[in-house]
Amino acid sequence: MRFPLRFACFLLAFALLPLYFLQAQTTAPSITLLRPAAVFDGQDLHPGWVVLVEGERIKAVGPADKLPAPAGATTLELPGLTLLPGMIEGHSHLLLHPYNEAQWNDQVLLESQALRVARATAHAQATLLAGFTTARDLGTEGAGYADVGLKQAINQGIIPGPRLLVATRALVATGSYGPKLSVDVDVPQGAQEADGHDGIIRAVREQIGKGADVVKVYADYRWGANEPSRPTFTQDELNLIVKTANAAGRPVVAHAGTPEGMRMATLAGVETIEHGDGGTPEVFQLMKQRGVALCPTVAATDAIARYRGWRKADEPAPERIRQKRQSVQAAIKAGVPLAMGGDAGVFAHGENVRELELLVQEYGLTPLQVLRGVTSDNARLFHLADRGSIRPGLLADLVGVAGDPTQDVRALRQVRLVLKGGVLYRQP
């Protein structure tokens, strides 16, 4: 009698399958009406606006009296909060942690990849909960392709974190990076060495094939200890890196701090210059002409100066800080677009807002400028057409902060609400 009973159960289950699939297909996505005090849409502040979210997308946005909650919608009251697009971190290293905890050399050489990935998991969550729903992660610094796996874990919902654009290993000219110990010892490097026509093409293609969204090149660096940075690749090599990456649909970004390294990277066709400490008016004019943005990473410069003993409240700014301020002012005067990114990892993840605060408090930008920069401007610069603004059809990556960040940048630290793709990760 067992066989007929099992067969009957099978027939019943088979008969119910169409009903199951019909229910799965017709179940309506969740609808939520968010009612904050104001909405910053990526460009301007709109008091009294509300936002309707359906599933993972923004359904509608506008004045509260013209956008009532539809039948079956959940209303989320957010009194006193400003709702803004999820912020976009332009330069981070999730596989690094602050240099006052462990020096860069020690992280690359002494910490296992398992430990570094475990840390990165916590870093990703801290970044998201700080209101940064997207991050451009520009190099694993000796952790291989671990950022690709981290991105996959986030996308599959295994761990919470921002949407990632990853650069994997990054590219350096042989001998120009680190760690550097005894000449008798070959140690793992913090980036992938590549030289010449065939070597560069192979390295770029390898990184893209492993999952790089962005190709990062170190256009200049220190060849030895206690010497200034100098260009590392030739112009032909930089041109080839950009040509090979662009052919695969990947942009190239360049670490560069010397005028010559910045000039060569700009001529090669990179999309952003990272750091740009020694930028001159002439270099920034060239960047403006070529449409190249600067990601100044002022927070990292500030953090490193403090690690080296600078007592900010009591002492004049060191030379490197003064040079950075001059560089950023020259870029602004030339009309170079600024990407917002602090080089998180040099300092603590989750403290990403430091970059925006410093740009306002010490570099002369307004809160509105940095707020546009970290949302709609970064989205445009990084080719992220589905986010960075609050408009119908875009991803429901939304952040609620206490106060008005268009007037006081410090309000961006008061994160009370975080949605990514319509999913609540933090709520009042």
Residue 5 lies in a domain: no
- Shared domain for 76 and 103, answered yes or no, is no
- Shared domain for 287 and 407, answered yes or no, is no
Residue 11 lies in a domain: no
Number of domains in the chain: 2
Query: Percent of the chain, pLDDT > 90?
Result: 90
- Shared domain for 355 and 410, answered yes or no, is no
pLDDT at 23 over 70: no
Query: Percent of the chain, pLDDT > 70?
Result: 93
- Shared domain for 153 and 72, answered yes or no, is no
pLDDT at 61 over 80: yes
Residue 371 lies in a domain: yes
Amino acid (one-letter) located at 92: S
- Shared domain for 374 and 279, answered yes or no, is yes
* Domain coverage including residue 410: 31-85+391-426
Question: Residue 75 maps to which CATH number?
Answer: 2.30.40.10
pLDDT, tens digit (0-9, with 9 covering 90-100), for 193-236: 999 999 999 999 999 999 999 999 999 999 988 899 999 999 99
| 283 close to 262: Cβ distance less than 8 angstroms | yes
Residue 288 lies in a domain: yes
- Shared domain for 271 and 403, answered yes or no, is no
Q: DSSP letters along 190-254, please? A: SSEE--HHHHHHHHHHHHHHHT-SSEEEESEE-SSTTS--EE-S-HHHHHHHHHHHHHTT--EEE
- Shared domain for 316 and 168, answered yes or no, is yes
Residue 386 lies in a domain: no
Residue 80 lies in a domain: yes
Q: Is the peptide bond before 179 cis (omega within 30 degrees of 0)?
A: yes
Secondary structure element (H or E) that encloses residue 22, with its range: helix 2-26
- Shared domain for 237 and 286, answered yes or no, is yes
pLDDT, tens digit (0-9, with 9 covering 90-100), for 31-45: 999 999 999 999 999
- The pLDDT, as a whole number, for residue 182 is 87
* d(C-alpha 422, C-alpha 425), whole Å: 9
- The pLDDT, as a whole number, for residue 26 is 36
Mean pLDDT score of the chain, rounded to an integer? 93
pLDDT, tens digit (0-9, with 9 covering 90-100), for 173-200: 999 999 999 899 889 999 999 999 999 9
- Shared domain for 251 and 110, answered yes or no, is yes
- Shared domain for 35 and 136, answered yes or no, is no
pLDDT at 424 over 80: yes
- Shared domain for 276 and 404, answered yes or no, is no
pTM recorded for the entire structure: 0.93
- Shared domain for 135 and 52, answered yes or no, is no
Packing angle between helix 354-361 and helix 298-307, nearest 10 degrees? 90
pLDDT at 157 over 60: yes
- The pLDDT, as a whole number, for residue 225 is 84
